[in-house]
Structure 1
Amino acid sequence: MSKSVPSFLQNELSGSVMTMYSGDYGGVEVQGNIQFSINYVQKLREFHIFVAQCRDLAAVDPKRGRSDPYVKSYLVPDKAKIGKRKTSVKKKTLNPIFNELLRYRLRMEHLRTQTLILSVWHHDTFGRNSFLGEVDVDLSKWDFDHTQMNYLALKSRPTSSLQPSDDRGEMKLAIRFLPQVSHSPGKDPPSNKGEVHIWVKDCKNLPLIRGATINPYVKCFVLPDMSRKSRQKTRVLRSTVEPVFNHTMVYDGFRQEDLKEACVELTVWDRDKLASNLLGGLRLGPGTGRSYGALVNWMDSNADEVALWERMMTSPNEWVEDVLPLRMLTTAKTVMK
Structure 2
Amino acid sequence: MAGMATASRGRVTMQEHMAIDVSPGPIRPIRLISDYFPHFYPFAEPALRTPDPRPAVTPAIPSAPQPQLDLEPEGDSDDSTALGTLEFTLLLDADNSTLHCTAHRAEGLKPPASGSVDTYVKANLLPGASKASQLRTRTVRGTRGPVWEETLTYHGFTVQDARRKTLRLCVCEDPRLRRRRGAPPLGELRVPLRKLVPNRARSFNVCLERRRLTKRPRSLDTARGMSLYEEELEAEAAGEERGRILLSLCYSSQRGGLLVGVLRCAHLAPMDANGYSDPFVRLFLHPNVGKKSKYKTSVRKKTLNPEFNEEFFYAGPREELAQKTLLVSVWDYDLGTADDFIGGVQLSSRASGERQQHWRECLGRSDCRMELWHPLDGAPLQLSD
Query: TM-score, structure 2 length as denominator?
Result: 0.44
- The structure richer in strand per residue is 1
Higher relative contact order (CA 8 A, sep 6+): 1
Select the structure of larger CA radius of gyration.
Answer: 2
- The structure richer in helix per residue is 2
Query: TM-score, structure 1 length as denominator?
Result: 0.49
